[in-house]
Amino acid sequence: MPQPPRPRLSAAHRSAMEANPWFASMPRLQREALLGAADLVHLRRGAMLFRQGDPVQAAGSGFYGLAAGTIKISTLRHDGREAILAVLEPGNWFGEISLIDGSPRTHDATALSALDLLVVPPEAFAQQMQGRAFSHAIAALLAARVRGLYGLMEDATLRDLRARVARRLLVLARGDATQSVHLRKRVRLPQEALAMMLGVTRQTLSKELNALAEERAIALGYGRIELLSLDALQRLGGTA
């Protein structure tokens, strides 16, 4: 029986992937090889791509590229509250850790909107890792993740909450996990989600955001935060 044709990657999908600094840093032949190894799948809003503890052999497992939509990476605390670790935007690749060490997934991945997702199966990922260009790119991706984790640990142990809020807004302005060189002046994220990222209550976060608004560093809107003064946020976050 003939196999149905694989869904094709649209020009918009390609544009989203090419805009990601990590993906764009690879040689073109390697980028094409990675895209060629991936299946394009669609997920509805609210669907869970994987759960913490899922084995790497689970159906649909792989190395993922987000071609459209947004997805949250999160975990549940011991008291049942959710902690959001990152919000991924189009262009980001993720899920490599379990494919490298063979251990279960370390967190939950949930669709915040309808998703178009590139899935590179484990066998295809292992084959790509045989190439020098891709293995070096994965090493660079992991190094960036480690730097980000050290930054979060430093914020949690050395900085007060207002500085942590300012720094997280600057990270989100670069696309969170994307960390683009370009800073955006608007962060589209509900305050409840930002509170979950920082591990504080919505009320505590609101107090800090209002203080930043009074200093004219930001302006608050429905589901968004306008960054009025990047200089002020960098100063408050200790990055100036």
123 vs 38: CA distance, rounded Å = 11
103 vs 56: CA distance, rounded Å = 7
Same domain, 109 and 196: no
Same domain, 89 and 30: yes
Same domain, 170 and 117: no
Same domain, 84 and 191: no
Same domain, 76 and 34: yes
Residue numbers of the domain that contains 230: 159-237
CATH number (domain holding residue 197): 1.10.10.10
Q: Is residue 136 a part of any domain in this protein?
A: no
232 vs 185: CA distance, rounded Å = 13
Give the model's pLDDT for residue 51: 94
Give the model's pLDDT for residue 13: 94
- Mean pLDDT of residues grouped by 10 in the chain (240 residues)? 62 92 94 95 96 91 96 86 89 95 95 96 96 96 90 87 93 79 85 92 95 94 92 84
CATH number (domain holding residue 38): 2.60.120.10
8 Å CB contact between 92 and 65: yes
Give the model's pLDDT for residue 79: 78
Alpha helices in 62-160 (DSSP H): 96-101, 122-128, 132-158
The pair of three-digit structure tokens given for residue 36, joined into one six-digit string: 């060629």
Looking at the 3D structure of the chain, how many domains does it have? Answer: 2
7 vs 147: CA distance, rounded Å = 36
Same domain, 119 and 167: no
Same domain, 61 and 97: yes
Same domain, 186 and 114: no
Give the model's pLDDT for residue 41: 95
CA 3 to chain CA centroid, nearest Å: 33
CA angle 151, 69, 84 (to 5 degrees): 35
Give the model's pLDDT for residue 240: 58
